Amino acid sequence: GLGVRFDFIVGVCDSKIRMNQCRFLELGRYRKMVAIPQSHPLAAKESLTLQDLDGQTMMMVPEGDSGTNDRIRAFLRENCPGLRLEDTQRFYDVSVFNRAAETGKLLLTIECWKDVHPALKTVPAEWDFTIPYGLMYALDAPEDVKAYVEVARGQVEAGGNP
């Protein structure tokens, strides 16, 4: 695990559960997008409007652990009441992508996962939601890991890549 087998994990992190188990240095942000099964009529679109989502079912993580996803859920409830929201497991794995592809449901995802499943096409929607990604490291990280994080933090603050 983190701090035992790995010094760092690079990934998306907006989870209260994970943030209580590790430290996090934000390196950037990914856009929240929608994965659509290739067989779905909306897969022909290059972007989605809220009207496109009306009458559809979209899978997403359950409410309560991710501030970003909770804001998206609230936005969709208010602005797209005809969209049905279906909870997935708290953290996506390949089974979640498979379920979207097999059931024909939409899936809330992120731009960096656009090629993760061959039967899904990922497109932007008419919103401006993003989620942070970065370095996750142990709460009790050793000094060399802390030193690396400080160097990386300096690079990020200077507008460069660590």
Position 159 pLDDT exceeds 90: no
pLDDT in tens, 108-147: 999 999 999 999 999 999 999 999 999 999 888 989 999 9
Q: Which one-letter amino acid corresponds to residue 94?
A: V
Query: Global pTM?
Result: 0.85
Q: What is the pLDDT of residue 18?
A: 72
Position 161 pLDDT exceeds 70: no
What are 109's strand-pairing partners?
33
Mean pLDDT within 39-49: 96
Q: d(Cα 45, Cα 64) in Å, to the nearest integer? A: 31
Q: How many CB atoms lie within 10 A of CB 150?
A: 11
The three-class DSSP label of residue 146 is helix
Position 10 pLDDT exceeds 90: no
Q: What is the pLDDT of residue 110?
A: 94
DSSP E strands in the chain: the ranges are 8-12, 22-37, 57-60, 84-87, 106-110, 120-123, 130-138
Percent of the chain residues topping a pLDDT of 90: 66
Q: d(Cα 88, Cα 15) in Å, to the nearest integer? A: 15
Using alpha carbons, select from 105, 143, 128 the residue that is nearest to residue 47: 128
Phi first, then psi: what are they for 50, rounded to 5°? -65, -30
Q: d(Cα 156, Cα 150) in Å, to the nearest integer? A: 10
What are 120's strand-pairing partners?
37
